[in-house]
């Protein structure tokens, strides 16, 4: 029957993904329990002691810091992104597409260039400090903006804001004006309508947006490296340090497995809520 044609279609993609995605993830876990030989090649075995130092306070600090940065970024993205999505859907009118396009456009600028834009804006010899200097503010530099946690959170927000706006736009678009009008008839004030009608109906999109912002920013390292500095390092920076700095690779693999484990629960929640409910990745 016809079905076998479609089943055949599945095979190339599935084989590729298993061989080049699932297996490498397996490698990470496998190497994390191994050690190395004299020339640094991973040797497989059972050494759970590789994980022992991770539970020491220095690492838990970095872990919590990474999660905190990601959480802060997510919250700011909600606070900025929800009003924007709502505005475009409800009041954009015939400019809806244009406004959405404008908001998404910066995302098509390369990630590194976006971080660089922030470096040149906030840097010691950057634009803002130059402005302050011309205005007569003393100090060299007038304000230490870069190499702070705030710069990192700001950079992460800048990187991932479109990921919050897109799913919200999709889900709010489905709700439609008339439903909101009906809600107003029911509840009277716009605020009540919002909290009792709009917000609950937009929850799938909101969850999708949260996952799409939280998950990548927790594992980010370039932003922290270039905008942060040693006191703001995230887990990604530590992993980078081990692999690029000729360290003990199994330990780097253990840190990576830690990232996987910690983000596993949010990933599952995302799959449960967002994919079952509403539209997610618009397309």
Partner 1 sequence: MSEPGENVRPAVNAVTDRQEATVRVAGHDRPGGARRLLRRRNALDRPRFLYVVMAFVLVFLFAPILLVVVFSFNATHSLATFSGTSLRWYKQLMHDSALLSSLVVSLEIAAATTVVSAVLGTLLALGLVRAGKRWTRPAQTLAVWPLLNPEIATAVGLLLFFTQFGLTLSPTTITIAHITWAIPYVALILRSRIVGLDPEIEDAARDLGATDLGALRLVVLPLLWPAIIASGLLIFVMSFDDFVTSYFTTGAGVPPLPVAIYSMIKHGVSPEINAVGTVMMFLSVGSVLLALAVFRMRSAGAKEKAVVDLTGGGVA
Partner 2 sequence: MSDELWTRRMNRRAFLGVAGAATLGIGLAACGAKSSPISGASTVASIKPQVDGDLNYFNWSEYMNPTIIKGFEKEYGVKVHQTYFDNMSGMMAKIRSGVPYDVTFPEAVEAYQLREGGYLLAYDHSELSSWKQVIPFFHNPWYDPQSLHTVPYVLWTTGIAWNSQKVTNMTGSWNDLWNHPEAKGYIELLNDMHETLGMALLRLGYDFNSVDPGQLSEAVSALLELKPSLRGFTSDDQITMASGQVWIQHAWSGDVWLAVSRMKPSEAKYWKYETCKEGVPVGNDTIVILKNAPHPGTALLFVDWVLAHAAENVAYTGYSMPTTEGIAAFGKVVSEYPTLNVTPEMLTHGVPFKYLGQAGLQLWTQEWTKVMA
Q: By CB under 8 A, is residue 233 in contact with partner 1?
A: no
User: What x/- string results for residues 145 through 174 when contact with partner 2 is judged by CB under 8 A?
Assistant: --x---------------------------
Closer CB to partner 1, residue 199 or residue 271? 271
Per DSSP bridges, beta strands 42-43 and 35-36 are: antiparallel
Binder of partner 1 out of 149, 216, 229, 241 (CB under 8 A):
216
Binder of residue 115, out of partner 2, partner 1, none (CB less than 5 to 8 A by kind): partner 1
Closer CB to partner 2, residue 123 or residue 162? 123
How is residue 138 written in tokens? 């003393």
Residue 43 three-state SS = strand
Binder of partner 2 out of 11, 38, 113, 135 (CB under 8 A):
38
| Segment lying near partner 1 (by CB under 8 A), choices 47-55, 56-64, 247-255 | 247-255
Q: By CB under 8 A, is residue 241 in contact with partner 1?
A: no
Q: By CB under 8 A, is residue 233 in contact with partner 2?
A: yes
Q: By CB under 8 A, is residue 14 in contact with partner 2?
A: no
Q: Before 141, cis peptide (omega within 30)? A: yes
Closer CB to partner 1, residue 22 or residue 52? 22
How is residue 246 written in tokens? 């000729």
Q: Calculate the alpha carbon distances from 84 to 29, 91, 156 in Å.
A: 41, 10, 18
How is residue 150 written in tokens? 């705030």
List, in order, residues 6 or more apart from 234 with CB less than 8 Å away. 62, 65, 66, 69, 152, 218, 220, 221, 224, 228
Q: Count interface residues toward partner 1 (CB under 8 A).
A: 107
Least CB distance from residue 46 to partner 2, whole Å?
10
Q: By CB under 8 A, is residue 48 in contact with partner 2?
A: no
Q: What is the separation of C-alpha 252 from the centre of its chain, rounded to a whole number of angstroms?
A: 21
Distance CA 22, CA 257 (A): 13
Shortest CA distance to 223 belongs to which of 76, 129, 81, 111? 111
Binder of partner 2 out of 16, 17, 27, 91 (CB under 8 A):
27
Determine how many CB atoms are found less than 10 A away from the CB of residue 90. Answer: 16
Distance CA 125, CA 266 (A): 39
Binding site for partner 2 (CB under 8 A): 22-31, 35-42, 44, 50, 53, 56, 58-59, 61-62, 147, 229-231, 233, 237-238, 241-252, 255, 264, 268, 271-272
């Amino acid at each position: 029957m016809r079905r076998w044609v479609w089943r055949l279609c599945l095979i190339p993609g599935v084989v590729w993904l298993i061989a080049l995605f699932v297996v490498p993830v397996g490698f990470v876990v496998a190497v994390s329990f191994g050690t190395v030989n004299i020339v640094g090649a991973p040797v497989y075995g059972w050494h759970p002691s590789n994980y022992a130092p991770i539970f020491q306070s220095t690492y838990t600090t970095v872990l919590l810091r990474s999660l905190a940065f990601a959480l802060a970024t997510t919250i700011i993205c909600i606070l900025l992104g929800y009003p924007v999505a709502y505005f475009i859907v409800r009041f954009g009118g015939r400019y809806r597409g244009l406004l959405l396009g404008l908001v998404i456009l910066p995302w098509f600028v390369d990630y590194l260039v976006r971080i660089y834009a922030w470096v040149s804006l906030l840097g010691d010899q950057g634009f803002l400090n130059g402005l302050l200097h011309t205005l007569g503010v003393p100090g060299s530099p007038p304000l230490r903006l870069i190499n702070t946690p705030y710069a990192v959170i700001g950079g992460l927000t800048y990187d991932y804001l479109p990921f919050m706006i897109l799913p919200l736009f999709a889900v709010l678009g489905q709700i439609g004006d008339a439903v909101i009008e009906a809600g107003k008839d029911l509840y009277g004030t716009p605020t009540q309508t919002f909290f009792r009608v709009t917000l609950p109906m937009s929850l799938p999109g909101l969850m999708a947006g949260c996952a799409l912002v939280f998950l990548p920013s927790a594992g980010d390292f370039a932003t922290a490296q270039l905008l942060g500095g040693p006191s703001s390092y995230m887990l990604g920076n530590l992993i980078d340090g081990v692999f690029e700095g000729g360290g003990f690779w199994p330990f780097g693999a253990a840190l990576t497995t830690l990232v996987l484990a910690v983000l596993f629960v949010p990933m599952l929640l995302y799959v449960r809520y967002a994919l079952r409910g509403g539209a997610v990745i618009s397309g």
